[in-house]
């Protein structure tokens, strides 16, 4: 299989495609999959979203990173809005709920965003090598 480039798209475009569940390489809008199952390879460019264990570790790291960034933003916002009468019990319950549900909600976005990061890393390796 030959490697294909992202058609000269800039890195931000590639990352945004991944963040909105589009193929980061070609921009195809519809990628068939379930919520947990990885998308099938892109029918237009052949990009695989489940290549190996490294890809699995990668999207999990992206998933947890986004979860924790959103959690910190949520917590800081709640603190600022409710200060000085912070509802600690409610905030603790909300923290548990957020950290238990967000990783599941972010699974498909994490997979396509990690694929975008891999497309960018392939680009940094230089010109495409023969298969």
Residues that bind Zn ion (CB under 5 A): 23, 25-26, 28, 42, 44-45, 47
Backbone dihedral region of 130: left (phi > 0), alpha (psi from -120 to 50 degrees) or beta? beta
CB of 7 to Zn ion, least distance (A): 10
DSSP 81: H
- Comparing CB distances to Zn ion, the nearer of 23 and 67 is 23
- Comparing CB distances to Zn ion, the nearer of 22 and 110 is 22
- Of 76, 75, 61, the closest CA to residue 106 belongs to 61
- Comparing CB distances to Zn ion, the nearer of 14 and 106 is 14
CB of 6 to Zn ion, least distance (A): 9
CB of 102 to Zn ion, least distance (A): 27
Q: Is residue 116 within 8 Å of residue 6, measured between CB atoms? A: no
- Comparing CB distances to Zn ion, the nearer of 30 and 92 is 30
- DSSP secondary structure of 57-107: HHHHHHHHHHHHHHHHHHHHHHHHHHTTS--HHHHHHHHHHHHHHHHHHTH
CB of 2 to Zn ion, least distance (A): 14
């Amino acid at each position: 299989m030959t490697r294909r480039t992202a058609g000269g798209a800039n890195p931000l475009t590639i990352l945004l495609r991944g963040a909105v569940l589009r193929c980061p390489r070609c921009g195809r809008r519809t990628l068939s999959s379930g919520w947990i199952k990885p998308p099938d390879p892109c029918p237009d460019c052949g990009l695989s979203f489940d290549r190996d264990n490294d890809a699995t570790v990668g999207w999990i790291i992206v998933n947890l990173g986004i979860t924790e960034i959103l959690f910190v933003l949520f917590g800081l916002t709640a603190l600022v809005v409710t200060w000085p009468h912070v509802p600690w019990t409610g905030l603790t319950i909300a923290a548990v709920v957020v950290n238990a549900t967000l990783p599941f909600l972010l699974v498909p976005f994490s997979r396509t965003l990690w694929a975008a990061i891999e497309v960018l890393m392939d680009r940094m390796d230089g010109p495409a090598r023969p298969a």
